[in-house]
Amino acid sequence: MTDAARAGTFQLGDRPVTRMGYGAMQLAGPHVFGLPKDHDQAIVVLRAVVESGITHQHERLLWAARHQ
């Protein structure tokens, strides 16, 4: 089984789509909308990700847009 297949799938319209990414969207509220269940813990997780060096251009762009 590939790593992508281990992540499982979800329905996007009428198509099953393989999950991908680090799951940061799940830090938000239910179904990726709203506030996280535990705001302080979400910040701890995000700081750990940044400190570990696991970043991609998307996150860098979002950070730049937020901090200009």
| Residue 55 tokens, joined | 């970043």
Cα dihedral 50, 58, 40, 20 sign: negative
Q: What residue type is assigned to position 4 of the chain?
A: A
**Residue-number span of the structural domain to which 11 is assigned:** 3-66
E strands present in 1-68 = 9-12, 15-18
pLDDT value of residue 40: 92
* Residue 4 pLDDT level (bands cut at 50, 70, 90): low
How many distinct structural domains can be found in the chain?
A: 1
pLDDT digits (tens, 9 = 90+) for 12-68: 788 888 766 656 677 777 777 888 888 898 888 878 877 776 666 667 777 788 787
| Residue 31 tokens, joined | 């179904």
Q: Which residue has the higher pLDDT, 7 or 29?
A: 29
Q: Exposed/middle/buried for 36, CB within 10 Å: 0-12, 13-18, 19+? A: middle
pLDDT value of residue 60: 74
- What is the pTM (predicted TM-score) of this model? 0.48
